[in-house]
Amino acid sequence: MTLLVCVTGRDNRKLMTALRASLPGIAIREWPDAGDLAEIEFVLAWNAPESLWQQLPNLKVVQSFGAGVDGIALSALPADVQVCRIVDPALADDMAEYVLGHVLAHKLRLGLYYRQQQQQLWRPKRASGGNRVGILGLGQLGQVVATKLQRNGFEVLGWSRSEKTIPGIVQFWGRTQLSEFASHCDYLICLLPLTAQTRGILNKSLFEAMPSNGVLINVARGAHLHEADLIDALDTEQIAAATLDVFASEPLATDHAFWHHPKITMTPHVAALTSLKTAVAQIAANMQAMQRGQPLSHCIDLDLGY
Ligand code: NDP
Ligand code: OXD
């Protein structure tokens, strides 16, 4: 039984050491040095090449090295393969802190005062009055973010795929309720998984539905956002500002228009970083569960794509 690590775009030395310590006796290889592909049953993946999946005749499990699974070409996987992801309460707490911090930064106009300080300008203004925060996606992360915002005095609205009732949250669901939901959001947080249904969802029609004081915070995936529509919505004052942690292409190209846009605040995909310790514990537990023929943890629904 062999585990293949195909985690691209990062230095994997600590990850490989931690996996070997947690899974003694298991052969662990790092892509592209995959050895005999017929021996590989379990792949730990992050932005793995799509061509990999058809080369593994005995693949049983693909484990994402993060909360999202969009870096795994689900449609290229054989039908009986299970796909799992990392679910970590500490990751959700980090996300909640990030979102609260950025909502408050906009509410208190911190960006404006940082810029005014550079110019030695003294122009006091009352904090923005908007208090309604809408969260697209009320899953593992969205629900923790919602609770944190409620505890800090915000009115929280949520939008999800299926109908649900969460105490204290004004709930909307399905495409038909999306515009109505957006019309009530002073702050709109995207915490959706990236799927065929959610790609490009942050677009002109959504921005048109939002109030003109509305602020977009995208912490999900860059491909949720139609970039030109955002710039247009900001330039025509359809919405007021945006905070972006994720981008269609990362790192963001140095000549991208977002870098210097006065109404855009950016961070380099740091809203909630996967903890190596938690991730390795979950990967090892799933690898061992597979060996024993037991159920795996945090598997996604392949039909839904999340
Ligand atoms: P979950 O799978 O737990 O939750 C997904 C939520 O989105 C659910 O509420 C689901 O609805 C809703 N949803 C999915 N599809 C649709 C749809 N078509 N229409 C409406 N609602 C939909 O995901 P997590 O909360 O764990 O993570 C969300 C995303 O956050 C990840 O996929 C990843 O992209 C991103 N992320 C970003 C990080 C960062 O650092 N920036 C760090 C970690 C994750 P329902 O409840 O009805 O099923
Ligand atoms: C994740 C991420 O999905 O870091 O875990 O974006």
Extents of the domains making up the chain: 2-88+274-292, 90-266
Query: Among the atoms of ligand 2, which is closest to the Cα of residue 91?
Result: 5
Name the residue among 240, 236, 235, 168 with its Cα closest to residue 210: 240
Q: How far apart are the first and last CA of the chain?
A: 27
Kindly state the average pLDDT of the residues 184-202. 98
Residue 277: predicted pLDDT? 97
pLDDT band at residue 214 using 50, 70 and 90 as cut-offs: very high
Task: Convert the pLDDT of each residue in 266-293 to its tens digit.
Answer: 999 999 999 999 999 999 999 999 999 9
Q: Which ligand is located closest to the Cα atom of residue 275?
A: 2
Ligand 1 center to 191 CA (angstroms): 5
Name 80's Cβ contacts closer than 8 Å, sequence gap at least 6: 60
Residue 165: predicted pLDDT? 92
Please, which residues bridge with residue 136 across strands?
159, 190
The domains spanning 2-88+274-292 and 90-266 adopt the same CATH topology: yes
Verify whether ligand 2 is closer than 6 Å to residue 130 (CB atom): no
Is-catalytic flag, 226? no
Superfamily of domain covering 90-266: NAD(P)-binding Rossmann-like Domain (3.40.50.720)
pTM of the model: 0.97
Kindly state the average pLDDT of the residues 109-134. 97
Kindly state the average pLDDT of the residues 7-24. 97
Query: Among the atoms of ligand 2, which is closest to the Cα of residue 273?
Result: 4
Name the residue among 14, 187, 16 with its Cα closest to residue 99: 187
Residue 1: predicted pLDDT? 83
Ligand 1 center to 138 CA (angstroms): 7
Kindly state the average pLDDT of the residues 139-153. 98
Is-catalytic flag, 85? no
Q: Which of 106, 161, 221, 226 is catalytic?
A: 221
Verify whether ligand 2 is closer than 6 Å to residue 66 (CB atom): yes
Residue 197: predicted pLDDT? 97
Residue 296: predicted pLDDT? 98
Kindly state the average pLDDT of the residues 94-118. 98
Q: Which ligand is located closest to the Cα atom of residue 46?
A: 2
Fold of the 2-88+274-292 domain: Rossmann fold (3.40.50)
